[in-house]
Amino acid sequence: MKQLNKKVAIVTGASRSTGIGAAVCLALAHEGVDIFFTHWSSFDEIEGNGGERDFPNVLCDKIRKIGVRSDHMQVDLSDMNSPVLILDKVEETLGTPCILVNNATYESPTNFRTFNGEILDKHYMVNNRGTLMLSMEFARRYEFSFPQEKIGRILNLVSGGPDPNNLAYIATKGMIIAITEPLSVALAPIGITVNSVNPGPTDSGWINDDLKRDLLPLFPTGRLGEPADAAKIIKFLASEDSYWITGQVIKSEGGFLGK
């Protein structure tokens, strides 16, 4: 799959060594892709699954040792200016990207008793507005830089299911699922495919031992999802071999039974 060689990718939300974002960065780097990734340690340290303060530099060095270029920036996707800031920095350091992996997310457990407008807005600003505005800025710059190419890829990490304690998160991820097909139709004429991947429950640092015992019987394959599983399908969907696949929401979750 060295057809990806020398392409430039943006991967959002690569803040932790055990996360899907980091796994995607490394998988694409091994295929010769130059990697620009974003991170927001403030969320991971305060509300997320625990930050690793120097991890972005560690990951960047690891990517460069593979033999490709890499750079990164800390950015809050809820900031209205973040799409322009990100694309300006990528173009300055690596060139115009043709792959965008929307992995960054805001998630805070929410049931019907705790659900309120403030919590919903926090999810919306990152999971919807941040993701979509970054995608639009990416597409506009791609159209300008690659007017005759068919190599553009937008890949979203999404989620779903009947979890009553994650209402705001699942609702906002549902919006990304809903826009996948119409956005793919809009961007097909300029050579960008748009797909979303639901990796199911993935052991990326948030699953404790009790939850693991509850989830494991729901995986007929006999193990939980791993970040590398998500990274493998993202790598394929980023490749030229996937060009005829667009507008799809793909479940890659090992037959998970907890729909």
Q: Could you give the CA distance from residue 145 to residue 148 in angstroms, rounded to a whole number?
A: 9
Dihedral pair phi/psi, residue 14, rounded to 5°: -105, 80
Alpha carbon 239 to its chain centroid, in Å, reads: 16
Predicted structure pTM score: 0.94
Superfamily of domain 2-251: NAD(P)-binding Rossmann-like Domain (3.40.50.720)
Element (H, E) at 21: helix 20-29
Nearest to 6 by CA among 36, 29, 34: 34
Q: What is the pLDDT of residues 218-233, one digit of tens each?
A: 899 999 999 999 999 9
Active site residues: 169
All structural domains of the chain with their residue ranges: 2-251
Q: What is the pLDDT of residues 123-144, one digit of tens each?
A: 999 999 999 999 999 999 999 9
Q: Distance between terminal CA atoms of the chain?
A: 33
Query: Quick check: 164 pLDDT over 90?
Result: yes
DSSP β-bridge partners for residue 34: 8
